[in-house]
Amino acid sequence: MAARSVTGLLAGVMACGLGWPAGGWAEDLTVHENQGRVCFETTADGAVSASYMIFGCFSSSCTTVPETRLIATVTENPATIRLDARIVTGSTGDLICTTDCGGVPAVPFVLGVLPVLDYQVTIGDGEVGMFRPAPGGESACLP
């Protein structure tokens, strides 16, 4: 079976409000490429949905997310799930920020019904663990 890919693209998403930040975009943007974790959930009918999130605590009142990109590729021989992710964060420049860690939302995606195999999961070029879809509401997070 040929590889299938799921692409998620969410550009210009901001963690705080809609539109441009009051002072415009800050100069200090940080690129987070393949620096996160993935959580999988298998429904009773065997469909796999997942979410990817970057490591760290980002204030919801001071963090902007001008770019989010995720490509998930599934192959069966060998059984692999590969994620390539890029999330860019910035700061609104506000002096007082909340400490709620809610500034960068998880990126949800759906892989659909997968054959029940032991999949090697990679984020970028790094292996993060194994995932086996098990119908019945099973979930797993890696790493």
What pLDDT, in 10s, does the model give residues 31-51? Answer: 999 999 999 999 888 899 999
Residue 7 predicted with pLDDT over 80: no
d(CA 78, CA 118): 10
Place 56 in a pLDDT band, splitting at 50, 70 and 90. Answer: very high
Give 42's Cβ-side CA count (13 Å radius). Answer: 16
Tell me what pLDDT residue 97 has: 87
Q: What is the pLDDT of residue 132?
A: 94
Burial 97-124 (b: 16+ CB within 10 A, else e): beeeeebbbebebebeebeebebbbbbe
pLDDT-derived band of residue 27, with 50, 70 and 90 as boundaries? low
- pLDDT score at 35: 95
Q: Are strands 63-76 and 79-91 parallel, antiparallel or unpaired?
A: antiparallel
Q: What is the mean pLDDT of residues 109-115?
A: 95
Q: What is the pLDDT of residue 98?
A: 87
Least confident of 4-8, 30-34, 78-82, 133-137: 4-8
73-to-2, 30, 45, 62, 99 alpha-carbon distances in Å: 10, 25, 21, 33, 35
Query: In the predicted model, what is the mean pLDDT of residues 26-30?
Result: 73
